[in-house]
Amino acid sequence: MNEDLRRERDSASFNPELLTHILDGGAERTQRRKEIEALVLNDPDFQHEDLNFLSRSQRYEEAIRKSALMVVKLRKYGIADPDEIYWFKRCVHHGRAEPLDLHLGMFLPTLLTQATLEQQDRFFMPAWNLEIIGSYAQTEMGHGTHLRGLETTATYDPATQEFILNSPTVTSIKWWPGGLGKTSNHAIVLAQLYTQGQCKGLHAFIVPIRQLGTHEPLPGITVGDIGPKFGYDEMDNGYLKMDNFRIPRENMLMKYAKIEPDGTYVKPVSDKLTYGTMVFIRSIIVGDSARSLSKACTIAIRYSSVRHQSELKPGDPEPQILDYQTQQYKLFPLLATAYAFHFVGAYMKMTYYRITGDINEGDLSELPELHALTAGLKAFTSWIANAGIEECRMACGGHGYSRCSGLPDIYVTFTPCCTYEGENTVMMLQTARFLIKSYTQVCSGQLVSGMVSYLNDLSGQHIQPQQVAARPTAVHINDPASLVEAYKLRASRFVEVAAKNLQAELNRRKSREDAWNRTSVDLVRASEAHCHYVVVKLFTTQLSEINDAAVHAVMNNLCLLYALYGISKHTGDFLQAGILTDAQVTQVYQRVKELLAAIRPNAVALVDAFDFHDNCLASVLGRYDGNIYENMFEWAKKSPLNKTEVHEAFHKHLKPKQAKL
Amino acid sequence: MPLSLLMAAKEKGFQQSQMAQWNRSGYFRSSGSRDVNPDLETERQTASFSVERLTAILDGGADNTRTRRAVEAVIHSEPGFSRENQYFQSQNERYEAAVRRSVYLKEKMHQMGWTEDGPEIKYCYRALGGDLAFNVHRVFKNSILALGTDEQIAKWIPLADKYHIIGTYAQTELGHGTFLRGLETTAIFDISTQEFTLNTPKISAMKWWPGDLGRSATHAVVFAQLYIKGKCYGLHAFILQIRSLRDHSPAPGVIVGDIGPKMNFEHIDNGYLMLQNINIPRENMLSRFSQVLPDGTYVKRGSDKINYLTMIMTRIHILWIEVIPTLLKACTIATRYSVVRRQSKLNPGDPEAKILDYQTQQQKLLPLLATAYAFHFMNAYVNEFYNKGYTEIRQENFDSLPELHALTAGIKAIITEYCTAGAEVCLRACGGHGYSALSGLPFLYTKLAASCTYEGENTVLFLQTARFLVKCLAAVHSGQPIPPSATYLSSVDSGKCQARTSVDFLKPDIYAEAYRHRATRLLGNAATKLQGLVQSGAEQHEAWNQCTVQLVQAAKAHCHYIVVKNFIDTVEKLRNEAEIQKIVKHLCDLFALHGIFSNTGDFLYAGYISGDQIDMVTASYLDLLAVIRNDAVPLVDAFDFTDESLNSALGSYDGHVYQRLYEWAQKSPTNKQVSQAYARYLKPLFQSALSKL
């Protein structure tokens, strides 16, 4: 092991394993996770060449191979628990998307929840056995966020008892669905249902798209890959165009809405369950934000302990770059953020399980709030992780830019989170809508509960503009609980400002929508402040659950850093609202710098606690043993440009022209 | 001569097909609306100013615009320069295409009579989006020109000019970048053979990253620690041959190759180089400023400070050739797409709204548009400093060097930082389609991302600017003269912002003063802290390290002020262009107010701006978004990028976003090549379903 890293590990003040247990949710779970990971890591079937050297087609092929194998092995090992499947899959695909994601994550579950028993008989077992592979085709080229705007049509023909599917315009071509381009032979297609001359809105249809046997597209179907992307090389995101393509009536998913043979439409009973699914997916994205940022921090912090550069003291050897304050200032707040987001993800998942428990007992009262608030948390965490990963990459200087660092890959794999499952700005505005609604409720004298209960303090009857600002400032900058209060005040002020500005726009006799649009910058700000408060609060709450004193001490510092750094980046908010004084702001800056120094000796142990196996990290710079330079050289030698000693471009272009010039 | 030749060719009339191609590229924009997406067309009809006139101003005169367009027309009419399939190419293919284009460009330039130092070359680079090889070859030549003796220049430069040799500039090592003194490559002089022996003593000393090194270069300027009779004389530059001119194989003792795939720049063969006892003649040390005599005597002559000038020039060069245009392109793509893309409804009953009509989308894109203009206009300012410095330095007067160095360091850092972040915002502002490589945005972003590191890592550069500023502040206190870019540090501060209404914040004096106040205060605080630590017994270097976070903030505030101030001055100078002055003034206001809005704490601190005043800033800022919204498309049209140079399915002039996306996707190799994935892995799975379905 590299000497610098050994020294860092020896001097840690706590046992990283204990922290790993906390992150995993218990020592037993850590052990089980490692067992599952070992199944993959020790399996030669899952070994392959470094993906950085493969073309897109090769990467796709490799992913398909591993995915098919994965499904077989999971069943062979009898791994059925969702978390365990997730661990296994994560290890097989290094956290990347893969062509069967939509089949396993959307096609199969949709069959379970929306198909009739007859349909399940026809489709589920073949799909379970991968004889049918399905994608989930919702988004169109011209339509994403606004579902009602989708243009694909399914027109019912009672004469033949078929639906006729059409993509009437170029903008209506299904675009982006994963696994659609090359892999799937079926798709669940969302289309506007027309029957008896009327549009009945969006419904889902099971559409065969490729011939079984030849895998050629069926007549009337145009399907293909949408081309290269920023990342997602393994994934054949596809397009699908349908021209008068007919499917039997029985292929509409009819557990809820139905079409009778004569074309009569039977309305669905309303269902709130979709809220639950969305909350669950968002909790996964928040967890992914934490995880991707943790990986990036692991790489950057290990590399910064091994890399030596310039001089701090004239005459001394070059110091580890982690000893520079500017480097600490880039990385440690991100490290704290990674931990904070981890706890947020865990909280969301736990709440989801608790509430779905309630659903089974019929109590759905908390779902709308949770749905509205998790929208913002998805956006808040993915935005910050997105920027943070890049910050980590840039903190690794030139070598961070090489794909051997693994950082470009983590970034391009993560960044679409800001867009899919709800574009972030749209998500923030959804949360804002809930905040404004809660605020209005409080103003009309009702109390609100849950994470927004702080709005009750805005004393319902008459809220003065200076209400919050006039509060006595008693923030203790070394007390996490007091900082939670400070964030709470900031959030309530921004909600109040947004609500008042919205009202002012409405008073100018603007339409509700117009007024909303003109206030949206304020509204997003209010949501961000609310989410920030929630994150600080959850991190702080987590502290009390840590029993080991040494771990508690270091986590307390991280929590303080997270809270104080956030303040230092938004001092204007706290100053303008009178939550902090100038003198306190100065103290905050100073305290942040002290905390950087305090965290420095534990930095490597804190990333070790994330417990990423080198294979999963896939980074030469982030190797556990720190032997970076030798391995960069070994890696580079395998580069495609080095396959021949003299590149053919020399013979083709350079040599013949040299004589002429 | 070359230009008149070109004009003549144009007069005679390019073929009809070429005219059509120009049209598609949007050359003859005045000729109107043929086949443009109506949503874009309406945006253009309501422009408050002449786009053509603004383009001329951005180009530095209508003559330049003409030359540029003529060059672009030549480049785009040649299929040999096409970048059409770029996004589908592998690293190997991109490298080969770049070499092909570069060799071809060399021929073309020769044919057209364009010279290496003529105005056309930068327009060629622009037209090709920089997708050329041999960029470091130019640095190789410049370093010989700067560091070589006349004989060395006479020997090497003609060979390099004709591509008979391809050079690289090998400075950075695997374990060493920023800190040059830490480089480990050695060059030991042997009096008996009159040769230097070059060695890579350990793995961290391997040269790593130099462009054109991996596959192309035949020669390299290598930086190494010079040893004579056991004594180290520090870093010097040596020319050595690394590959055979006959068959291109590596020279004996040379281990050279490509460093592997990167985030971008895959067309460039960044390389590694390991040297094992390579002997080169004494004459191959670049000896303008220091020489080793046959008996081993080391002679230094003149100051090599002029070398800094090369570095500064390179730094400036990349900003306006590579960095800023890339942000301009990203803005063009995102803005055009945002008026073509419709999403959700603003009013019930209306059709879905253009996404640029959403305030949140405006807030993402329009401040970037203002930033793009702000940075573009910095060109004149920086050049003025550079030319003054250049003249003085040529006369061996180095007084202005520290300022020039500090200024360009900070400007480079702030521009690359903002442009990189900005391109990423553009990418995400285009939703899912921005993530497609075909949008062009991933390419632009990843290109910019490298600029924060190359030519000086940004944090290191900000700290160099800060060091200069701390000295300036000391000069203020001791009553000594202060360099022009920092004179503001000595002016008197009113301590309170004078604005009374939100309209007051549209007065340049008001916001300039606010930025000045902020820069002065942050620098003052950092310097005070630094001094305090030293006085309380900390060692200088330790005190410095403990203040670096603050010092970086101070340097950023200084640069921000300079950019704002220069924007204001630029608006002033447009007084004869009423319409254009008006819209540029709006952009200037937006740039300044967005900066305050995004950093309220810096201005609120110590009550310089009150809470009420911040609300006024916010109000003015939001109003400006709506105003600039109306001219957003004309403002990006004025950048006048050809479709070929944008290379984006989302950003083309005609706005046919969806058709283009669909057509381009069909060209993807994943849709053409027969993948083994089906036959090998999927077919066996699907077979068993046949019998059941």
Crossing angle of helices B306-318/B135-147, nearest 10°? 160
On whether both B490 and B368 belong to a single domain, the answer is yes
A421 is catalytic: yes
Asked if pLDDT for residue A178 goes beyond 60, the answer is: yes
On whether both B538 and B409 belong to a single domain, the answer is yes
Rounded distance between C-alpha atoms, residue B484 and residue B388, angstroms: 12
On whether both B248 and B149 belong to a single domain, the answer is yes
User: The pTM is what?
Assistant: 0.93
Inter-chain CB pairs, A–B, below 8 Å: 381
Report residue A473's pLDDT band, with 50, 70 and 90 as the boundaries: low
**pLDDT > 70 in chain A, percent:** 95
In this prediction, residue A359 carries a pLDDT of: 61
Between B263 and A644, residue with greater pLDDT: B263
Instruction: Report the alpha-carbon angle A400-A405-A410, nearest 5.
Output: 95
Asked if pLDDT for residue A272 goes beyond 80, the answer is: no
The interface predicted TM-score (ipTM) is: 0.93
On whether both B205 and B252 belong to a single domain, the answer is yes
Residues of chain A positioned with their CB less than 8 A from the CB of B552? 326
Active-site annotation holder among B455, B539, B572, B579: B455
| Backbone phi and psi for residue A143, each to the nearest 5 degrees, phi listed first | -145, 125
User: If contacts are CB pairs under 8 Å, which of residues 73-102 in chain B contact chain A?
Assistant: 87-88, 90-92, 95-96, 99-100
CA torsion sign for B187, B192, B195, B201 is negative
Are A321 and A309 within 8 A, CB to CB?
yes
In chain B, whose CA is at the least distance from the CA of A72?
A: B685
Where residue B579 falls (left for φ over 0; alpha for ψ -120 to 50; beta otherwise) is alpha
On whether both B369 and B413 belong to a single domain, the answer is yes
Are B646 and B333 within 8 A, CB to CB?
yes
Least trusted range by pLDDT, from B92-101, B303-312, B434-443: B303-312
In this prediction, residue B674 carries a pLDDT of: 63
On whether both B289 and B314 belong to a single domain, the answer is no
Do the Cβ atoms of A325 and B546 come within 8 Å? yes
Full domain range(s) for residue B296: 140-301
Report residue A536's pLDDT band, with 50, 70 and 90 as the boundaries: very high
Do the Cβ atoms of B107 and A657 come within 8 Å? yes
The domains found in chain A, sorted by start residue, are: 1-12+280-448+480-643 (1.20.140.10), 133-266 (2.40.110.10)
User: If contacts are CB pairs under 8 Å, which of residues 424-443 in chain A contact chain B?
Assistant: 424-425, 429
Report residue B9's pLDDT band, with 50, 70 and 90 as the boundaries: very low
Q: What is the mean pLDDT of chain B?
A: 91
Do the Cβ atoms of A401 and B453 come within 8 Å? yes
**Is residue B674 within 8 angstroms of chain A, CB to CB?**
no
Are B343 and A426 within 8 A, CB to CB?
no
Report residue B691's pLDDT band, with 50, 70 and 90 as the boundaries: low
Rounded distance between C-alpha atoms, residue A241 and residue A223, angstroms: 6
Q: B480 vs B416, B477, B486, CA distance in Å?
A: 33, 8, 12
Report residue B642's pLDDT band, with 50, 70 and 90 as the boundaries: very high
**Is residue A113 within 8 angstroms of chain B, CB to CB?**
no
Report residue A279's pLDDT band, with 50, 70 and 90 as the boundaries: confident
Residue B39 lies in a domain: no
Average pLDDT over residues B658-662: 95
**Is residue A10 within 8 angstroms of chain B, CB to CB?**
no
Q: What is the pLDDT of residues A201-215, one digit of tens each?
A: 999 999 999 998 889
Report residue B20's pLDDT band, with 50, 70 and 90 as the boundaries: very low
Distance from CA of B258 to the nearest CA of A (A): 6
Asked if pLDDT for residue B402 goes beyond 70, the answer is: yes
Do the Cβ atoms of B438 and A324 come within 8 Å? no
On whether both B384 and B332 belong to a single domain, the answer is yes
Rounded distance between C-alpha atoms, residue B62 and residue B54, angstroms: 10
Least trusted range by pLDDT, from B133-142, B406-415, B489-498: B489-498
Least trusted range by pLDDT, from A572-581, B163-172, B250-259, B486-495: B486-495
CA torsion sign for A534, A537, A539, A542 is negative
Average pLDDT over residues B362-378: 98
Average pLDDT over residues A172-183: 96
Task: Select from B301, B329, B344 the last residue of a domain.
Answer: B301
Q: What is the pLDDT of residues A61-88, one digit of tens each?
A: 999 999 989 998 999 999 999 899 999 9
Residues of chain B positioned with their CB less than 8 A from the CB of A175? 432, 661
Asked if pLDDT for residue A23 goes beyond 70, the answer is: yes
Active-site annotation holder among A17, A250, A366, A421: A421
In this prediction, residue A459 carries a pLDDT of: 56
Place of tokens 């142990």: A605
Least trusted range by pLDDT, from A12-26, A119-133, A267-281, B246-260: A267-281
**pLDDT > 90 in chain B, percent:** 81
Residue B667 lies in a domain: no
Are A133 and A108 within 8 A, CB to CB?
no
Average pLDDT over residues B515-536: 97
Q: What CATH number has the domain bearing residue B450?
A: 1.20.140.10
**pLDDT > 70 in chain B, percent:** 93
| Backbone phi and psi for residue B688, each to the nearest 5 degrees, phi listed first | -70, -15
Asked if pLDDT for residue B14 goes beyond 90, the answer is: no
Residues of chain B positioned with their CB less than 8 A from the CB of A524? 360
Residue B51 lies in a domain: no
Interface test with B, best of A57, A321, A384, A630 (most B CBs within 10 A): A57
In this prediction, residue B687 carries a pLDDT of: 64
Query: What's the domain count of chain B?
Result: 2
CA proximity to B93, closest of A226, A229, A61, A641: A641
Q: Residue B310 annotated as binding?
A: no
On whether both B276 and B387 belong to a single domain, the answer is no
Do the Cβ atoms of B604 and A228 come within 8 Å? no
Average pLDDT over residues B351-362: 96
On whether both B296 and B313 belong to a single domain, the answer is no
Do the Cβ atoms of A585 and B344 come within 8 Å? no
Residue B505 lies in a domain: yes
In this prediction, residue A471 carries a pLDDT of: 53
Task: Select from B596, B618, B639 the last residue of a domain.
Answer: B639
Q: Residue A139 annotated as binding?
A: yes
**Is residue A51 within 8 angstroms of chain B, CB to CB?**
no
Q: B321 vs A631, B507, B670, CA distance in Å?
A: 35, 32, 34
**Is residue B118 within 8 angstroms of chain A, CB to CB?**
no
Bridge partners of A527?
A: none
Beta-strand pair A245-248/A162-166: antiparallel
Residue B648 lies in a domain: no
In this prediction, residue A267 carries a pLDDT of: 87
In this prediction, residue A362 carries a pLDDT of: 64
Rounded distance between C-alpha atoms, residue B19 and residue B27, angstroms: 9
Residue B367 lies in a domain: yes
Between B59 and A313, residue with greater pLDDT: B59
Q: What CATH number has the domain bearing residue B288?
A: 2.40.110.10
In this prediction, residue B8 carries a pLDDT of: 35
Are A348 and A27 within 8 A, CB to CB?
no
Rounded distance between C-alpha atoms, residue A169 and residue B662, angstroms: 12
Distance from CA of B361 to the nearest CA of A (A): 9
On whether both B314 and B241 belong to a single domain, the answer is no
Q: What is the pLDDT of residues A334-376, one digit of tens each?
A: 999 999 999 999 999 888 888 777 666 667 777 788 888 899 9
Average pLDDT over residues B481-490: 94
Residue B659 lies in a domain: no
Task: Select from B254, B270, B301 the last residue of a domain.
Answer: B301
Asked if pLDDT for residue B461 goes beyond 70, the answer is: yes
Q: What is the mean pLDDT of chain A?
A: 92
**Summary count for chain B: helices (H), strands (E):** 28, 13
Place of tokens 């460039």: B268
Reduced 3-state DSSP string for A619-651: CCCCCCCCCHHHHHHHHHHCCHHHCCCCCHHHH
Average pLDDT over residues B33-42: 86
Residues of chain B positioned with their CB less than 8 A from the CB of A571? 600-602, 604-605
**Is residue A131 within 8 angstroms of chain B, CB to CB?**
yes
In this prediction, residue A357 carries a pLDDT of: 75
In this prediction, residue A100 carries a pLDDT of: 94
Rounded distance between C-alpha atoms, residue B594 and residue B515, angstroms: 12
Q: What is the pLDDT of residues B544-583, one digit of tens each?
A: 999 999 999 999 999 999 999 999 999 999 999 999 999 9
Are A206 and A196 within 8 A, CB to CB?
no
Asked if pLDDT for residue B29 goes beyond 80, the answer is: no
Do the Cβ atoms of A572 and B346 come within 8 Å? no
Residue B653 lies in a domain: no
**Is residue B578 within 8 angstroms of chain A, CB to CB?**
no
Do the Cβ atoms of A639 and B605 come within 8 Å? no
Rounded distance between C-alpha atoms, residue A235 and residue B64, angstroms: 46
User: If contacts are CB pairs under 8 Å, which of residues 297-326 in chain A contact chain B?
Assistant: 307-314, 318, 323-326
In this prediction, residue B688 carries a pLDDT of: 58
User: If contacts are CB pairs under 8 Å, which of residues 289-348 in chain B contact chain A?
Assistant: 341-348
Are B561 and B27 within 8 A, CB to CB?
no
Crossing angle of helices B150-161/B135-147, nearest 10°? 160
On whether both B178 and B286 belong to a single domain, the answer is yes
On whether both B273 and B394 belong to a single domain, the answer is no
